[in-house]
Amino acid sequence: YSQVLLDELGQNNPMCNRVEETLKAGERAKLLVGQLLAFSRKQALNSKVLDLNVIVSDFESMLRSLIGPDIELTTLLDPAVGHVKVDPGQFEQVIMNLVTNARDAMPQGGKVIIETANVTPVEAMAHQLTSSKSGQYVKLAVRDTGCGMNADTQAHIFEPFFTTKEASRGTGLGLSTVYGIVKQSSGHIDVRSKPGQGSTFTIYLPRIDDTCEVEKASIPEHRLPEGTETVLLVEDEFGVRVLVQYGLRLYGYTVLTARDGDEAIRISTRHAGPIHLLVTDVAMPRMNGRQLAHELVARHPKMKVLFISGEDAATRGGANPEETALLQKPFTPDVLARRVRELLDQSS
């Protein structure tokens, strides 16, 4: 909604700054629910020279909302800490996942401490750090006073899909995602923990020459791709359906909407003209997204298909992300618009 509103207001509207702040908060908030379904270190990073203290400070209010009132958050930020080169969005996810892990280890409340500091040569040697050309490193540590972990748990903690949580509370991808992002950023991560004594996760990153210009993350100006094709949107969740419908219509598309597969089939049968694209949720009652797509593509052979999915719904609904176009919830309208245009522009 924020992205749509920002596009409608125009650059000179006095409300733009407030909407941009809302948009930034929304981008960060999606990290709360945007669990990665595939663990890979080949993801593209948009790395920038940044000040770790700024990342932590800008993210602090979001973290306090995340952990709740029963957990005390303290930041110990070294004002002389060196610069690092990381993807700001990915590194916010690293911090988010570590703090989420700490929160879950303290169901009765406790403390989380986030610390930044320059790494001494002795500490760098002790951890056998070798990725920095200058030999200098910066560290970020997240400590908690939670239940801690035994040696066996620590040995598997970064493995994809490993989790000590109930099946309904986690996918086991949070810490493996942290590991992948840190390694791709030429960093190292260390964990120290004992049962009943809490845990400390320490990330070591190569220190960048302080003469390098520090960049600031910003929302880029953009022109969203538009179209005039007909899109059949199938989504059982009312709020998502309304947002996607509004966004697509704003960008020029004719949108037919359905709450489930049965209604989608009825609409496609009554509709006289072509349906160029099916945008469907994956996990729906009675008929899942893949079943619906199979049925409709048989009737409309030139129809393109875009699946939209939350958390692990792609697996439950039978869609293989490697074989189909899949957009992970939550997503912003600009991401949706670009993906829709990409699919429609592809040759059959």
The residue type at 51: D
Q: Cα separations (Å) of 78 from 38, 63, 111, 197?
A: 35, 19, 19, 25
Render pLDDT for 123-145 as a digit per residue (tens, 0 to 9): 888 888 877 777 889 999 999 99
Give ∠ CA 222-227-232 in degrees, rounded to 5.
120
Burial class (CB in 10 A: 0-12, 13-18, 19+), 258: buried
Give φ, ψ of 326 to 5 degrees.
-130, 125
Asked if residue 28 has pLDDT above 70, the reply is no
Nearest to 143 by CA among 197, 212, 179, 210: 197
State the DSSP string of 80-147.
TPPEEEE-HHHHHHHHHHHHHHHHHT-TT-EEEEEEEEEPPHHHHHHTT----SSS-EEEEEEEE-S-
Identify which has the larger pLDDT, 165 or 71. 71
For residue 252, pLDDT over 50 is answered with yes
Residue 102 or residue 133, greater confidence:
102
| Global confidence as pTM | 0.53
282 neighbors 288 (Cβ within 8 angstroms): yes
In angstroms, the CA 80 to CA 76 distance is 12
Exposure string (b/e) for 196-208, b if CB count within 10 Å is 16 or more?
Answer: eebbbbbbbbbbb
In the CATH scheme, what architecture does the domain 230-345 have? 3-Layer(aba) Sandwich (3.40)
Q: What pLDDT does residue 10 have?
A: 64
CA distance 250 to 312: 29
**Is residue 70 scored above 70 in pLDDT?**
yes
List the alpha helices (DSSP H) in the chain: 2-9, 16-29, 52-67, 88-104, 121-126, 151-156, 174-184, 238-250, 261-270, 289-299, 313-317, 333-345
The mean predicted confidence, pLDDT, of the chain is 80
Residue 312 and residue 37: Cα distance in Å, rounded? 7
Q: Do 56 and 116 form a contact (C-beta atoms < 8 A)?
A: yes
Q: What average pLDDT does this structure show over 293-297?
A: 94
196-232 pLDDT per residue, tens: 999 999 999 999 876 666 665 444 444 567 899 999 9
Q: Is the pLDDT of residue 7 over 80?
A: no
- Kindly give the interhelix angle for 333-345 and 238-250, rounded to the nearest 10 degrees: 60
State the Cα–Cα distance between residues 158 and 178, nearest whole angstrom: 8
The superfamily CATH assigns to domain 35-206 is: Histidine kinase-like ATPase, C-terminal domain (3.30.565.10)
The pLDDT value recorded for residue 316 is 43
H-run or E-run covering 278: strand 277-281
Q: Is residue 169 very low, low, confident or very high in pLDDT (cuts 50, 70, 90)?
A: very low
Residue 345 has pLDDT above 60, yes or no: yes
DSSP letter, residue 321: T
Work out the pLDDT band at 315, boundaries 50, 70, 90: very low
Compute the distance between CA of residue 270 and CA of residue 274 in angstroms, rounded to an integer: 11
Q: Which residues pair with 280 in a beta bridge?
A: 234, 307
